[in-house]
Structure 1
Amino acid sequence: MTKWKAVIFGFILAVMVKSFFAQYEFVGLLIVGFITGYLAHDGAIGGMWNAAVAGALGTIVCAILFIIIATLGGSLFGIFGGLTGFTLSGITSITVIIGYLIYYAIVMGITGAFGGALASKK
């Protein structure tokens, strides 16, 4: 059911949208979800599934990139200052990461269903 070629391509595009076009995140995720669903060629349900998986992977990688940036670039003391700051806010930020995980999966899944439905028609 999961077309990994479409998921990996959508995942890369989702990370690019979050990293470089954060002010246009919603519109970018809509477009990326549609492209992922279209590339899946698996109908509406398959397109929704593949786009949601790509969005979830994109969220996880963006969260990991945030952790690396917060840990290594946190203060004048290098890794120790950033690690302390991230540890203090780490428990509360897990809810934000889960919220983004759900947000990416829903937004990309909806338009992925449209892309998959369009691709399955002849």
Structure 2
Amino acid sequence: MTNWRAVLIGFLVATVVGLFGVVVPGIGQLAAGLFGGFVAGYLAGGGLGRGFWHGLLAGALGGLVGGLLIALVVALAGWAAGPAGGAITGIAGLGIFAAAALVAFVMAIESAIAGAVGGALNAGPDRRGSAGRRQYQ
């Protein structure tokens, strides 16, 4: 079962690090995907496969949201040119979103690999609630 909380937190970490990556050279967008995927995989726990899945979802979500925002900006900018410009840039916006979706899934691989590492580091039982805590005697 997918832990959407882990995916959302991983996405938010990737977004914040990505914002700093735009401003601070050396961090870049690659590091954002790695950090976000690692956090998603670590929070989800459960081993390599589970961490891979959650890192993949966090990375893909980031790419899709970014692509959707760019496509909307392009589509809405065309309305300044009137109805014909709006139709043309609306189609261009759909094309941009389709290309961004493809790139998002390819770029999500880095997040998935980092998520697998995070999941492997947290391969123990589910950490939520008192059932996952160890009782010290």
TM range (shorter): 0.7 to 0.9
- 2:110 is equivalent to residue 107 of structure 1: yes
State whether residues 46 and 119 of structure 2, in contact with CA within 8 Å, keep that contact through their aligned partners in structure 1: yes
TM-score (norm 2): 0.70
The alpha-carbon distance between structure 1 residues 80 and 10, as it changes in their structure 2 partners (threshold 3 A), is: farther
Single out whichever of 84-93 and 41-50 deviates more from structure 2: 84-93
Task: State the one-letter code of the partner of 1:56.
Answer: A
Q: Tell which structure's C-alpha radius of gyration is larger.
A: 2
Correspondent of 2:60 among 53, 56, 60: 56
Number of residue equivalences: 121
Consecutive unaligned residues of structure 1, counting only runs of 5 or more, are none
TM-score (norm 1): 0.78
Superposed CA deviations along residues 58-104 of structure 1, whole A, max 9, x for unmatched, are 22211111111111234743776354234247447624531332222
User: RMSD across aligned C-alpha pairs, in angstroms?
Assistant: 2.9
Return the structure number with greater relative CO, CA threshold 8 A, min gap 6. 1
Task: State the one-letter code of the partner of 1:102.
Answer: V
